Amino acid sequence: MRQLTQTGWMHNRVRMICASFLVKDLLIDWRRGERFFRHHLVDADIAQNAGNWQWIAGTGPDAAPYFRVFNPTGQGQKFDPDGDYVRRWVPELASLPATIIHQPSAADPGQLVASGVILGETYPTPIVDHTRARERALESYKHALA
């Protein structure tokens, strides 16, 4: 989100991860995210932005991927294995080793201390458990489809 608000741009992969987290992990209406991104994106296109958010939310004309819930940790590990993106946009985590930079809350306390990271102070604790949030989202969609 820092990249978006500072530059007006984000790679599509990061846009999808953010959208999935907002809509599926937090169960927030996709239209709130769509408005925020439309306001900040320098390449915003009203129809494309709305369509992309509907696709992620599983509510548009091609709602088939409603069950796709991006795992932000897994996506980071796969597409930013060395943590370079995180180090650029989340400098408070820059000293963490690549093995834990995508999930500092799972780090050994000694690693956090050595890196100057204090969960809840210099970096927030997780606001949701992704596994549980994913299950809740899928259950919500299941009930909506019934």
Give the model confidence (pLDDT) of 16-42 as tens digits: 999 999 999 999 999 999 999 999 999
**Separation of alpha carbons 16 and 56, rounded Å:** 7
Is pLDDT above 90 for 59? no
Q: What is the pLDDT of residues 94-126, one digit of tens each?
A: 999 999 999 999 999 999 999 999 999 999 999
Which percentage of the chain shows pLDDT scores above 90?
Answer: 88
pLDDT value at residue 63: 62
For residues 92 and 56, the answer to whether their CB atoms sit within 8 Å is: no
Superfamily of domain 1-146: DNA Cyclobutane Dipyrimidine Photolyase, subunit A, domain 3 (1.10.579.10)
* CA angle 132–137–81, rounded 5-degree value: 65
Give which of 36, 64, 48 is closest to 12, Cα–Cα.
48
Q: What is the largest CA-CA distance in the chain?
A: 51
**Separation of alpha carbons 10 and 136, rounded Å:** 28
